[in-house]
Structure 1
């Protein structure tokens, strides 16, 4: 099946999927309004097999220390799947399934599957990581770049995390949990009841980012966009909170964005 850009529509919602560009969501339009920052490295990309920064690009798997390329020196950031070409497995009405085989520089064979499901008022992204041979630690997350401004007032970000991961000078969590602090943020927060973040563009649109996962990174230090990133563990989580993928137990996660006009 062709791995060219895929367009899904439902009601007045339209989503563009780009298998050949890291399996990312290239655009999400609601009633003709584009919600995601445009550009080759923006939209919404999958973070897999790890999320955020991995300290010095190193992680331990049992007694073995693995070294990843430092694509954000001195760390490795956001996984490898966003840099590869995905394959299209299936396209149906309002739904697409794309896959990516984990290859070097990731040291373990595995397969990532991402399902994109669109309705007139929601987008659900579901991802799984399967081990094809030996077990390995992994993470799943999504990195959307939402426009800060849709032509009116700037977006408002509302959420009530239980804690904030204290951020060290190296941009990684120190392991200390602190009371949530005001932004600007490039920070990880804990939401034990599940990720629940609402973005409101006053007078225009309200969008909720939800996930059963309990970790979310919020990044709003750029003028053009705001990022709300649900993920299965914190930055450097391959070392501090690894989720093990085995040949009989994949790692699975999902996020749903739902919206309404104001």
Structure 2
């Protein structure tokens, strides 16, 4: 069963170091990176909004750090997924109508391996937990280098049945803007994707208003920008062809690589093209990666 509270007490966390970089990881709080600090010539830089909380309800996570999205990214409309001719009810986020961000970020993870600059975590989801009918496992590898941070995810279908699957990564950057190339922008309402249309924008800024963009046909590269000093070059590996951009009243800027668009399973069932929905056969694994390197 998913624990009702996430535990990020200091003695339950891991600290990674490499050159000027320091990363804190909370395995018992959704496998989250709580913060990533780099000592720059001009002073320490917090690339992510740091999480200072040490405990929180699993469904009310602090808006900071970086966490994995699995076995789906973003929302499933009305917490119902249309799959192989049936409509399946999964658990919504408490207090909301939709399922959100998958179960992985609300579970306690096991530590498989640790080194000074490396952490390997794993979580196992039994069939039926949170209403998700399939059993799966997810391995996360977090690695620091002198250049920056690298994260790998490997989602394995542990169920005897085919499973709809997706992966994503959800960072809360302290950045002021981003530049990237994507061919498709999805019209949306209340942060639920509706239909694809051509994208004509390549730059987005953190503003005092709240906004979201669902993009597909993404090149897999993004420049993450700060008002001064260096930025980050974001690059992905694997089928992370989609990206979610989100700004909440100027508090942070999210640039979230994902394998599929929001509510992909239902959009695909309705015949929408280009959703990125992936099906995993029993025993099959979906692997992706993201690198964040300092760009001066």
Q: Which of 205, 220, 237 lines up with 2:230 in the alignment? A: 205
The answer (yes or no) to whether the contact 2:14–2:26 under 8 Å persists in 1 is yes
Quick one: distance in 2 between partners of 1:67 and 1:180? 36
- Residue 109 of structure 1 and its aligned partner are, at CA, apart by 1.0
Quick one: distance in 1 between partners of 2:241 and 2:16? 29
Quick one: distance in 1 between partners of 2:113 and 2:281? 25
Q: Which of 11, 17, 25 lines up with 1:9 in the alignment? A: 17
The answer (yes or no) to whether the contact 2:140–2:153 under 8 Å persists in 1 is yes
The answer (yes or no) to whether the contact 1:23–1:46 under 8 Å persists in 2 is yes
Q: Does 1:147 align with 2:174?
A: yes
| Deviation sequence 1:165-208 (CA, Å, 0-9, x none) | 112x232221222333575631111234x321111213322102
Quick one: distance in 1 between partners of 2:265 and 2:197? 18
Quick one: distance in 2 between partners of 1:128 and 1:144? 18
The residue aligned with 1:86 is 109
- Residue 143 of structure 1 and its aligned partner are, at CA, apart by 0.7
What SS does the corresponding residue of 1:56 show, helix, strand or coil? Answer: helix
Please list every run of 5 or more consecutive structure 2 residues that lacks an aligned counterpart in the other structure.
Answer: 1-10, 54-61, 205-209, 269-274
After superposing on structure 2, the runs of 4+ consecutive aligned residues of structure 1 that deviate more than 6 Å are none
What SS does the corresponding residue of 2:249 show, helix, strand or coil? Answer: coil
Q: Does 1:180 align with 2:207?
A: no
Q: Give the TM-score normalised by structure 1.
A: 0.89
Quick one: distance in 1 between partners of 2:16 and 2:261? 31
- Residue 61 of structure 1 and its aligned partner are, at CA, apart by 2.6
What SS does the corresponding residue of 1:162 show, helix, strand or coil? Answer: strand
Please list every run of 5 or more consecutive structure 1 residues that lacks an aligned counterpart in the other structure.
Answer: 149-154
Aligned alpha-carbon RMSD (Å): 1.9
The answer (yes or no) to whether the contact 1:209–1:228 under 8 Å persists in 2 is no
What SS does the corresponding residue of 2:105 show, helix, strand or coil? Answer: helix
The answer (yes or no) to whether the contact 1:130–1:246 under 8 Å persists in 2 is no
Between 175-184 and 238-247, the greater mean CA deviation after superposition = 175-184
Q: Give the TM-score normalised by structure 2.
A: 0.79
Q: How does 1:1-262 map to 2 (within 5 A)?
A: 4-31=12-39, 32-39=44-51, 40=53, 41=62, 42-71=64-93, 73-103=96-126, 104-105=129-130, 106-133=132-159, 134-148=161-175, 155-167=176-188, 169-181=189-201, 185-192=211-218, 194-212=219-237, 213-239=240-266, 240=268, 241=275, 242-260=277-295, 262=296
